[in-house]
């Protein structure tokens, strides 16, 4: 039996699937995946819960499967959150150094971070993460560690990720309804980036795009720190919807066609080709154009990538992407999707692979599990003992601040 004080669990309640990942934190800092549980998601749309009862059932199934595989009892989880309501923006904090002759102290750093966290978000929003970027002492330089430096004014730049309170509460409530506590909520895009980016990629600059069923999350790391984050309320389900309309088929048939015959490009060799549709008895119904199927997919995927590029460019970060683009999420499995992304971004594009984690090979090499594994990475960085803590607290206490140290 494992030492339960070293067990951490990540839970993603997504549009397409609910995924629970159980990991063990080693004394030497290693992270190993012990178990994985999945359930088809039926109560979530665009990354947000729309059917509480169904979401609870799906969560229970995924957790039970993960428990059986890992031989542990799940008492608490790190919960991924996403949705079109989540936004990222920059903020800063300013603090006069208490004793300029002595220089900046740890207390000065704590105070300036408190000031940076005092963000004037609308009343219906709550801060999820406050990610430290860099300090300035008397307005000079981008300082990583200011303690000991002489100066009179300390400033810090942070990236804030916030979301609507009630929508975040719905996710927490769904998990607590199955008698499991929530240790922290974590932005899904950030979790995915923690799973797939190496320290070198974070330093050189990389854009991580997690294309799920209902949303496309993206984050930019540059200079070793988080620079930008955002969500598009568009994902694989929108590709399916487009196919259902264009081909005049049901949603379930469109999804199957996407999986079996879909691709991100229309190649010359498939022009004029058709697919025969049959009914549940195998009898022929009609034919559809393979070229049309792939053209519809191409247009939707291209539009999604272009929207991400526009937002990254608007943030002034496009030229910072020295390591290129990393794709993860279920849509990363679409054939030729990396080639399409390379065409849109004019940068090298790769499929995300989990970095520095051991254990279940079936989980580590699959781009759709990046968020779940990244949640364990988040827990590892914070060195929290998850099964010993209680979450019978208010929402604001649950929405902890994440101070990323690069």
Model confidence over 47-80: pLDDT tens digits? 889 999 999 999 999 999 999 999 999 999 999 9
Q: What is the average per-residue pLDDT within 223-238?
A: 95
pLDDT in tens, 251-307: 999 999 999 999 999 999 998 899 998 876 666 778 999 999 999 999 999 999 999
Q: How confident is the model at residue 177 (pLDDT cuts 50, 70, 90)?
A: very high
Architecture category of domain 1-87+160-195+355-406 in CATH: 2-Layer Sandwich (3.30)
> Mean pLDDT for the chain?
88
Confidence at residue 297, expressed as pLDDT on a 0 to 100 scale = 98
Owner of token pair 């300029």 = 100
Identify which of 229, 192, 198 has the alpha carbon closest to the alpha carbon of residue 212: 192
Range(s) for CATH 3.30.1490 in the chain? 88-159
Distance CA 16, CA 405 (A): 33
Q: What is the CATH number assigned to the segment(s) 198-354?
A: 3.30.420.40
What's the pLDDT at 282? 67
| H helical segments located in 122-213 | 165-176, 188-196, 199-204
Helices (H) and strands (E) in the chain, counts: 12, 19
Quote the CA–CA distance of 146 and 150 in Å, as a whole number. 9
pLDDT band at 388 (very low <50, low <70, confident <90, very high): very low
pLDDT above 50 for 340: yes
Q: What is the pLDDT of residue 383?
A: 58
- What is d(CA 244, CA 81) in angstroms, rounded to the nearest whole number? 28
Domain 88-159 has CATH 3.40.1350: no
Q: What percent of the chain has pLDDT over 70?
A: 90
Domain boundaries for CATH 3.30.420.40 within the chain: 1-87+160-195+355-406, 198-354
Give the pLDDT band of residue 396 (cuts 50, 70, 90): very low
CB atoms within 10 A of CB 348: 14
CB 199 within 8 A of CB 378: no
Task: Flag the least confident range among 97-111, 178-192, 347-361.
Answer: 347-361
């Amino acid at each position: 039996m494992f030492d339960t004080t070293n067990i951490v669990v990540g839970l993603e309640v997504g549009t397409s699937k609910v995924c629970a990942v159980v990991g063990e934190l080693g004394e030497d800092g290693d992270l190993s995946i012990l178990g994985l549980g999945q359930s088809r998601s039926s109560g979530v749309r665009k990354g947000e819960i729309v059917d509480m009862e169904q979401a609870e059932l799906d969560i229970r199934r995924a957790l039970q499967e993960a428990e059986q595989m890992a031989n542990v009892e799940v008492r608490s989880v790190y919960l991924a959150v996403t949705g079109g309501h989540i936004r990222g923006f920059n903020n800063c904090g300013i603090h006069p150094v208490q004793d300029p002759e002595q220089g900046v102290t740890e207390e000065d750093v704590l105070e300036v971070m408190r000031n940076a966290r005092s963000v004037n978000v609308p009343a219906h929003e709550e801060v999820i993460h406050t990610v430290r970027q860099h300090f300035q002492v008397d307005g000079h330089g981008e300082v990583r560690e200011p303690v000991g430096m002489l100066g009179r004014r300390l400033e810090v730049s942070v990236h804030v990720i916030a979301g609507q309170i009630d929508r975040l509460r719905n996710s927490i409530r769904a998990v607590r309804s199955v008698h499991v506590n929530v240790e922290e909520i974590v932005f899904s895009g950030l979790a995915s980036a923690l799973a797939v980016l190496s320290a070198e990629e974070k330093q050189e600059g990389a854009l991580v795009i997690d294309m799920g069923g209902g949303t496309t999350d993206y984050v930019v790391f540059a200079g070793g720190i988080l620079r930008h984050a955002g969500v598009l309320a568009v994902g694989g389900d929108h590709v399916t919807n487009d196919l259902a309309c264009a081909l005049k088929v049901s949603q379930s048939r469109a999804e199957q066609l996407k999986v079996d015959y879909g691709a991100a490009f229309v190649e010359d060799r498939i022009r004029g080709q058709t697919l025969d549709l049959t009914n549940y008895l195998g009898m022929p119904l009609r034919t559809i154009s393979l070229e049309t199927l792939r053209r519809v997919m191409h247009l939707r995927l291209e539009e999604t990538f272009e929207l991400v590029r526009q937002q990254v460019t608007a943030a002034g970060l496009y030229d910072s992407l020295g390591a290129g683009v990393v794709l993860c999420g279920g849509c990363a499995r679409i054939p030729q999707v990396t080639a399409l992304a390379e065409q849109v971004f004019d940068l090298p594009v790769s499929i995300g692979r989990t970095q520095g984690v051991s254990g279940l090979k079936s989980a580590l090499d699959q781009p759709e599990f990046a968020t779940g594994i990244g949640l364990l990475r988040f827990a590892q960085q914070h060195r929290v003992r998850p099964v010993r803590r209680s979450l019978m607290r208010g929402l604001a206490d649950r929405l902890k601040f994440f101070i990323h140290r690069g």
